[in-house]
Structure 1
């Protein structure tokens, strides 16, 4: 579309959904000269997502830095997300190398803090019009492509025209459904329940994750002294779990190795959960449409990667389409560039997550890497990079890492044999 065709446009880009993905995309596009309408179906400025891991993995830090949000997050009490992971071989505890740089991090911060913060940041950005109370009900179609949205508002129905419509409206994206973009679903054979606690000390004051094969659990400290605890058992346990939800949840947590002392803590929320949460992915583009965040790809909540991927996909989209969104380039070609990057960076992660969502024991290569990481500091740091989504599966399982893990385990077994002989002599 050329500049001469822009007269009929209300905006260059309309974004549906003013959560982290939509708000970040609005800021990054507007800074590149794009006129953005940011639509949020809820009118409450404090509106936020409730069911969430509240985790921004380290892959999101460069986006937060570009947005200029790091000082505001620190001021709001966001907790740098160090973590340790329990396995049957012991704890994997990533630490910075001696005299080396600190481990990469981003933040744990509750969505009740994050969502209003990033949305207000977008509203203050020149070039962004935040439109609360606007719910997308359909798309404007012209010549086989999307050319805007139809929305219901407190003042009545409204049509907003734009070169590009961005769906940042979650896994049940109305934009994706209206554009006819199907979702590919992957069964998740775990269920999840969450609760929030105050005055709950954790070892080292950092996040804890338990790999119980096949069950999972984690405890993440957040802003304002609040810790979120999640349990993710195999669905075979669901009928018995539901008979006494509170008792089952508390018993599950109490039985964890080095269990958090929940009985002396203050629970400040109800126990809420997701019984059925399939992973899904969609092709992130269609003519005149782009999908970001959960609208494009919804991961498994046990990994806590959704918010990080939401911010990254917003950045990838802005970098790919900004010139074309203002009429200075081929929009369709720019969308293809975005889709390729999205697929290249996230497809491998999603494949492994979908496989692990089958609530199965570790596969042989996973046993190799997890056991060695519990015994070797450099492999623990390597696992931290993967868990933070700073490296992909191919780099995580590269030949050098697998060889190092094998050598660590051979040495461990040799030392165990020697200890056994010594104790029997």
Structure 2
């Protein structure tokens, strides 16, 4: 039955983009009583994002759990994403504290598995209409307010009315463009290439990241025995790298400290990548429109945070706007809830993005980072602290808090003292 508050709108919400952020937002909003049109420009329900780290950080595990995807991911062979990191001080190897809980995790899983899975879950959710082959070409307005979208479909142009339009359409968001929401851009001084390898053994069977200052690399094990192997060198190396892409890629990997035996593995994909991937950030909401996932904030791919933040931002939005999206309280209530979502999004992610944008300048560690990373390579508790930050379960202020810095100083002083004692008296 259509409530009086919903009269006059085909849907409460229209979402552009049916990948992670859009499908998650559709499910969570519909479960809260919102009628959702979920638009996807591609017609294939099995379509997926190709250029991705294929990793969901642990901060998003509660969202996966709420969506009911954890059993399906486990059944599909998704790999729990434990990790270790190489630094010039040695490997940082987080382990659970003796007698304590296991380290938090989410999953590494190929997008060819994940995207169709979450899209199918959205399609079967009561209150969600998945509309494939629908590409947003403009926004509808009524009395100055956004009132839906205009979309190109296999059957021609279509207008779909709604109180709220959500852009889940990636870093080049058409919804943001049509709504006049500009992007702030931070240049990335690294380029990146990745490929998928089958049967590539990794130490401990877990993810590896190499901080080479300024170059980077990582290897993440995924479902079906496939590992995503990526290199992210300084852009100064790009001209030489491009002359022989395959040879340069493999040479870079072979030169990594404790390099995985790439020559004994089977490459099962092309080497793909991007030579220019700036970090984008936009205001997450304006009257009648909201942005989630990469449409709101695109991080540096070396950190592998995009999937996790896509899922989290979908949940933050659903929690903030669901009642108002059904018409309860009128336009003023919806605008207030959108403003609350925007404040929460920026409060949670602004610090992470600022730190990532600074590191994207392709610089070595600064003194503060050197202090904490070196301590993490020498102390198990500090390694766990590093793991919580890499999992985006704590923010930069807590990661580099005064108490943590003081502890790192003590760890490094103790390490130097032990080295002097082991070296014996000097003459």
TM class, shorter-length: over 0.9
Deviation (angstroms), 1:232: 0.2
Q: Identify the residue that residue 294 of structure 2 maps to in structure 1.
A: 294
1:368 aligns to 2:332 (yes or no): no
1:353 aligns to 2:356 (yes or no): yes
Query: Using the alignment, how far apart are the partners of 1:221 and 1:143 within structure 2?
Result: 52
Deviation (angstroms), 1:143: 2.1
Q: Identify the residue that residue 130 of structure 2 maps to in structure 1.
A: 130
User: 2:17·2:169 contact (CA, 8 Å) conserved in 1?
Assistant: yes
Deviation (angstroms), 1:6: 3.3
Counterpart secondary structure, 1:8: coil
Query: Using the alignment, how far apart are the partners of 1:70 and 1:309 within structure 2?
Result: 17
Query: Using the alignment, how far apart are the partners of 1:311 and 1:79 within structure 2?
Result: 18
Cα deviation 1:47-85 (Å, max 9, x = unaligned): 000000000000000000111110001001000000000
Q: Identify the residue that residue 152 of structure 2 maps to in structure 1.
A: 152
- Count of residues paired in the alignment: 423
Query: Using the alignment, how far apart are the partners of 1:242 and 1:267 within structure 2?
Result: 19
Q: Identify the residue that residue 265 of structure 1 maps to in structure 2.
A: 265
Q: Identify the residue that residue 99 of structure 1 maps to in structure 2.
A: 99
Aligned runs of 1:118-197 on 2, under 5 Å? Answer: 118-197=118-197
Please list every run of 5 or more consecutive structure 1 residues that lacks an aligned counterpart in the other structure: none
Counterpart secondary structure, 1:51: coil
Q: Identify the residue that residue 24 of structure 1 maps to in structure 2.
A: 24
Deviation (angstroms), 1:421: 2.0
Aligned runs of 1:47-126 on 2, under 5 Å? Answer: 47-126=47-126
User: 2:5·2:328 contact (CA, 8 Å) conserved in 1?
Assistant: no
Deviation (angstroms), 1:206: 0.1
User: 2:5·2:326 contact (CA, 8 Å) conserved in 1?
Assistant: no
Query: Using the alignment, how far apart are the partners of 1:73 and 1:150 within structure 2?
Result: 35
Query: Using the alignment, how far apart are the partners of 1:4 and 1:286 within structure 2?
Result: 25
Aligned runs of 1:301-340 on 2, under 5 Å? Answer: 301-329=301-329, 330-340=333-343
1:387 aligns to 2:390 (yes or no): yes
Query: Using the alignment, how far apart are the partners of 2:418 and 2:7 within structure 1?
Result: 75
Query: Using the alignment, how far apart are the partners of 1:324 and 1:334 within structure 2?
Result: 7
Query: Using the alignment, how far apart are the partners of 1:391 and 1:146 within structure 2?
Result: 36
Query: Using the alignment, how far apart are the partners of 2:370 and 2:145 within structure 1?
Result: 48
Cα deviation 1:287-321 (Å, max 9, x = unaligned): 10000000000000000000000000000000000
1:399 aligns to 2:395 (yes or no): no
Cα deviation 1:223-261 (Å, max 9, x = unaligned): 010000000000000000001110000000000011011
Runs of 4+ in 1 over 6 A off after TM superposition: none
Cα deviation 1:131-168 (Å, max 9, x = unaligned): 00000000001222211000000011100000000000
Counterpart secondary structure, 2:139: strand
Q: Identify the residue that residue 219 of structure 1 maps to in structure 2.
A: 219
Query: Using the alignment, how far apart are the partners of 1:317 and 1:144 within structure 2?
Result: 23
Cα-Cα RMSD = 1.1
TM-score normalised by length of structure 1: 0.98
Aligned runs of 1:229-244 on 2, under 5 Å? Answer: 229-244=229-244
TM-score normalised by length of structure 2: 0.98
Query: Using the alignment, how far apart are the partners of 2:142 and 2:412 within structure 1?
Result: 62
Cα deviation 1:87-113 (Å, max 9, x = unaligned): 000000000000000000000000000
Counterpart secondary structure, 1:231: strand
